[in-house]
Amino acid sequence: MRGLIRLRNPQDLFAGLFLVAVAILAHYFASDLSMGRLVRMGPGYLPTVLSWLLGGLGLIIALRGFTIDGPALAAWAWRPLIALSASLIAFALLLERGGLVIAIIVTTQVASLATPHHRPLSTFLLGVVLSAMSAALFIGLLGLPLTIWPDFG
């Protein structure tokens, strides 16, 4: 049975296919943006080029799954996957309504649930430090129009 293609590295195959899927999604979202030319790039130029590069890299990694021996797929770690995804969603939902400080403190608390050894007090202090540094950088230095605290009025 020489004609059969044998999967030798499922981790590379699925990682490559994931990168290709992300590239397709990025290309889709950038498709409405103007491309421009190399000398006068439009807003869609860089995302489109990067999506093509990511897709090509994903194909190379996926093809390695058939050529290079590697480990089998490992079991998914559901706790970190859910906690980190929930922290990103919490940040997105809270940033505009709750302000930068609340969004960052809640995000660090939710993300800390990814590990069974989380310590709420030290995570809270980390959130306070991160929110102070973020406010100084994004609002103070860069002048971004972000709210620091929720508007109770």
With pLDDT > 90 as the criterion, what percentage of the chain qualifies? 71
Q: Among 67, 88, 106, where does a domain finish? A: 67
State the pTM of this model: 0.64
Please give the angle made by the CA atoms of 103, 104 and 109, to the nearest 5 degrees: 100
Q: Is residue 99 part of a domain?
A: yes
Q: In the prediction, which pLDDT does 72 show?
A: 83
Residues 56, 93, single domain; the answer is no
| pLDDT over threshold 70, residue 108 | yes
Residues 54, 23, single domain; the answer is yes
| pLDDT over threshold 80, residue 67 | yes
Number of compact structural domains in the chain: 2
Secondary structure string (H, E, C) spanning 21-69: HHHHHHHHHHCCCCCECCCCECCCHHHHHHHHHHHHHHHHHHHHHHHCC
Q: Is residue 41 part of a domain?
A: yes
| pLDDT over threshold 70, residue 18 | yes
CB-count exposure of residue 16 (10 Å: 0-12, 13-18, 19+):
buried
Residues 91, 55, single domain; the answer is no
Residues 82, 135, single domain; the answer is yes
Q: Residue 58 belongs to what domain range?
A: 10-67
Residues 41, 82, single domain; the answer is no
Do the beta carbons of residue 62 and residue 17 sit within 8 Å? yes
